[in-house]
A and B are shown apart, each in its own frame.
Chain A
Amino acid sequence: MANVLLILPELTIFLAAILVFKCLILGLSVLHVWRVAFAGSLLGLGACLITLGMTGEPFHPGIYRVDLFSQLMKTVIAAALVLVLVLSDSPPVMRRDAWRELPFFLLLSSAGLMMMTSATELITLYLALELSAFPVYALIVLHRDRRMGSEGATKYMLQGMVASAVTLYGMSFIFGLSGTTYLSEIAAALPELGSQPLFWVGLLLLLAGFLFKLALFPFHFWAPDTYFSSPHPVATFIATVSKVAAIAVLCRMVAVAGWNEASIDGETLRIVLIVLAVAAMTLGNLAALVQKDFKRLLGYSAIAHAGYIVVALQAFSSLGHTAIVFYTIGYLAMTWICFMVACEVGRNRDTVPVSALAGLWQRSPMLALCLLIGIFGLTGLPPTVGFIGKWFLFSAALEDGQFLLVLIAALNSAVAVYYYMRVLRVAYLLEPAKEDTGILAPSPLVVTGAMVACLVVLWMGVAPNYFWEIAAEAIVALGATY
């Protein structure tokens, strides 16, 4: 019984998915299906909150671990899922016959992502990775514009399959060198493994699949294309929910690889990560300067943010991990806000060019204010979480003496001001185009979600203590595993 309670969040989401599938078979209308899914996701969030304090291993020891870290990440995932579902009741940008299936696939993918945060065994991790990816591949291709949707889906899936094959190949070497697939046993064997170069190469290959989900250079190419060509709610899902899980796994893997005192030279892997982070930040920010599409711009900004996160990740320290968990929560809220605006503005558009935001200030002051808060957050301006979160990320790297890296990161975030401000300029200062002067009226649910997200962004920026402590505790729980 206790075991069932431990996997309550995943179970709830799975059951909700099955229920939704039942509704699909019964031929219920879009609205009903969506309601069931929404209720299910709320229940899932509740389940996450219930299990927040629990620790244990519901299956054979070593395969699947429930602790504060995993449950915190699951809570974040569930909350993000609720927020994404808020935006996906009947998105006109998708093929009409796929509206009903959208919540079903989102639920399934979230369940996979939740598994990823808890999995402590390589193959379970791989399985969860695939499980979370398959429904998303299918959703992208269900874009109303089939030409665009199929191109985006094909390319995304192709890159995703290659990345996961590389991950699997890397896993095989780790398995071979350590004789096991359990992270805890690998961590225990680390002092011997660490002296083998092949182990570090294998780890790099293994990380490839998760760095791909995070959109770090050189696995970043999909991000702008996929954000651009996906139906808006699906893009929101990819940009928020799946990022969280990828970050969670990266934290876990890196905690295994080099976090405990007894370890070995992870130095070479760190240098590789540093180079990748620098490349990602620079590429992302530079390419974003010339973007004309809002979602593409957010895609490049996501690449840059992947770089910022790896800046802290490579520190291999608990401060760095805490900073990452903290920033992830804030990043999720900021990104969701931006995508929410994209969804609302692009309700009847296949794509959301930046120019479509023109006159947002007049069309919907509420959306404009939300966009302001979200963009400020992404830019890293106080009093949003973007500022304080970046501060923590950079100080983690500095604590480690990575002076030059932080300098590059800080310069990068200075360059980024330019394109973020351009978005705000269009939204606040230009007159709306002739064809879309109408008032935008987001549904009450969207407004509620937006208020919550804005509140989180500001709250974490002004009084970070509460969230910081939770993140720190979660990282302590993560460290206790090994």
Chain B
Amino acid sequence: MSLSAFLLVSLVLFSAGLVAIMSRRNLVTILVGIELMLNAASINFMAFNYYTAVDPVVGQIIVLVIIGLAAAEVAIFLSILMVLYRARHDVDVEEIREIRG
């Protein structure tokens, strides 16, 4: 397996994440899209770590940090979603368009 195969896989993940973010209406599925993007970045880091990095520990540490931050991000986003849901009884991103102009 060559390096660019991994990069292309991660690119597909990234693009799929973008599609999810841009087209889905449910905020939870949009969060899924963001997770896909983060994973794409993680794959890149691991692949580069394996093939090009000077010190092969770096990539792993980076990916661990990313996993940790993703967990934190999800926690906060879901809690905000709870408030949103309580205030509106809806999590449709196309319905929350009151602030504009």
Binding between chains A and B: yes
Binding site for B on A (CB under 8 A): 123, 126-127, 130, 134, 137-138, 141, 146-155, 157-158, 161-162, 165-166, 168-169, 171-173, 175-177, 179-181, 225, 228-229, 290-291, 296
The minimal Cβ–Cβ distance linking B50 to chain A, given in whole angstroms, is 10
> Which of A137, A147, A225 is the one whose CB lies under 8 Å from B88?
A147
With A162-B34, A176-B44, A181-B58 as given contacts, are A148 and B98 in contact (CB-CB < 8 Å)?
A: yes
Residues B36-90 near A (CB distance < 8 A) = 37-38, 40-41, 44-45, 47-48, 51-55, 58-59, 61-62, 65-66, 69, 72-73, 76-77, 79-81, 83-84, 86-88
How far is it, in angstroms, between the C-alpha of A137 and the C-alpha of B34 when the chains are bound?
16
Given contacts A162-B34, A179-B48, 9 further A-B pairs with CB under 8 A are A123-B62, A127-B65, A130-B73, A146-B83, A147-B98, A150-B87, A154-B84, A176-B47, A180-B54
How far is it, in angstroms, between the C-alpha of A431 and the C-alpha of B81 when the chains are bound?
42
Residues from chain A with a CB closer than 8 A to the CB of B72 are 130, 134
Residues from chain B with a CB closer than 8 A to the CB of A127 are 65, 69
With A165-B37, A168-B38 as given contacts, are A151 and B80 in contact (CB-CB < 8 Å)?
A: no
How far is it, in angstroms, between the C-alpha of A158 and the C-alpha of B100 when the chains are bound?
16
Contact present for B34 and A152 (CB under 8 Å): no
Contact present for B34 and A161 (CB under 8 Å): yes
Contact present for B52 and A176 (CB under 8 Å): yes
Contact present for A172 and B45 (CB under 8 Å): yes
How far is it, in angstroms, between the C-alpha of A172 and the C-alpha of B52 when the chains are bound?
12
> Which of B40, B65, B88, B99 is the one whose CB lies under 8 Å from A155?
B99
Mostly, the A contact residues are helix
Mostly, the B contact residues are helix
How far is it, in angstroms, between the C-alpha of A172 and the C-alpha of B59 when the chains are bound?
9
Contact present for A165 and B81 (CB under 8 Å): no
With A151-B99, A179-B53 as given contacts, are A172 and B44 in contact (CB-CB < 8 Å)?
A: yes
> Which of A154, A169, A290 is the one whose CB lies under 8 Å from B41?
A169
> Which of B27, B65, B80, B99 is the one whose CB lies under 8 Å from A148?
B99
Nearest residue, chain A, Cβ from B81: A154
Contact present for A228 and B87 (CB under 8 Å): no
Contact present for A168 and B80 (CB under 8 Å): no
Residues from chain A with a CB closer than 8 A to the CB of B101 are 290-291, 296
Residues B1-24 near A (CB distance < 8 A) = 14, 17, 21
How far is it, in angstroms, between the C-alpha of A11 and the C-alpha of B73 when the chains are bound?
24
Residues from chain A with a CB closer than 8 A to the CB of B37 are 162, 165-166, 169
Contact present for A229 and B99 (CB under 8 Å): yes
With A150-B87, A169-B44, A179-B54 as given contacts, are A157 and B98 in contact (CB-CB < 8 Å)?
A: no
Contact present for B48 and A175 (CB under 8 Å): yes
Residues from chain B with a CB closer than 8 A to the CB of A155 are 96, 99
Contact present for B48 and A176 (CB under 8 Å): yes
Nearest residue, chain A, Cβ from B58: A181
Which 4 residue pairs spanning A and B have beta carbons closest together? A172-B44, A176-B48, A150-B84, A165-B37
What are 10 A-to-B residue pairs whose CB atoms are below 8 Å? A123-B61, A130-B73, A141-B84, A158-B27, A161-B77, A162-B21, A168-B41, A169-B14, A175-B44, A175-B59
> How many A-B pairs with Cβ below 8 Å?
115
How far is it, in angstroms, between the C-alpha of A110 and the C-alpha of B16 when the chains are bound?
34
Residues from chain B with a CB closer than 8 A to the CB of A181 are 58, 62
Residues from chain B with a CB closer than 8 A to the CB of A228 are 99
Nearest residue, chain B, Cβ from A290: B101
Binding site for A on B (CB under 8 A): 14, 17, 21, 27, 30, 34, 37-38, 40-41, 44-45, 47-48, 51-55, 58-59, 61-62, 65-66, 69, 72-73, 76-77, 79-81, 83-84, 86-88, 93, 96, 98-101
The minimal Cβ–Cβ distance linking B45 to chain A, given in whole angstroms, is 5
How far is it, in angstroms, between the C-alpha of A149 and the C-alpha of B66 when the chains are bound?
28
Residues from chain A with a CB closer than 8 A to the CB of B47 are 176
The minimal Cβ–Cβ distance linking A379 to chain B, given in whole angstroms, is 23
> Which of A157, A166, A225, A290 is the one whose CB lies under 8 Å from B99?
A225
The minimal Cβ–Cβ distance linking B37 to chain A, given in whole angstroms, is 4
The minimal Cβ–Cβ distance linking A353 to chain B, given in whole angstroms, is 12
Contact present for A173 and B44 (CB under 8 Å): yes
Contact present for B76 and A158 (CB under 8 Å): no
How far is it, in angstroms, between the C-alpha of A197 and the C-alpha of B54 when the chains are bound?
22
With A151-B98, A152-B99 as given contacts, are A141 and B48 in contact (CB-CB < 8 Å)?
A: no
Nearest residue, chain B, Cβ from A229: B99
Nearest residue, chain B, Cβ from A142: B83
Contact present for A141 and B80 (CB under 8 Å): yes
How far is it, in angstroms, between the C-alpha of A306 and the C-alpha of B72 when the chains are bound?
29
Residues from chain B with a CB closer than 8 A to the CB of A179 are 48, 52-54
Nearest residue, chain B, Cβ from A168: B41
Residues from chain A with a CB closer than 8 A to the CB of B76 are 134, 137-138, 157
How far is it, in angstroms, between the C-alpha of A137 and the C-alpha of B80 when the chains are bound?
8
How far is it, in angstroms, between the C-alpha of A148 and the C-alpha of B83 when the chains are bound?
11
Nearest residue, chain B, Cβ from A123: B62
The minimal Cβ–Cβ distance linking A187 to chain B, given in whole angstroms, is 15
The minimal Cβ–Cβ distance linking B94 to chain A, given in whole angstroms, is 12
Contact present for B38 and A165 (CB under 8 Å): yes
The minimal Cβ–Cβ distance linking B43 to chain A, given in whole angstroms, is 8
Residues from chain B with a CB closer than 8 A to the CB of A123 are 61-62, 65
The minimal Cβ–Cβ distance linking B47 to chain A, given in whole angstroms, is 8
With A130-B69, A175-B45, A228-B99 as given contacts, are A151 and B38 in contact (CB-CB < 8 Å)?
A: no
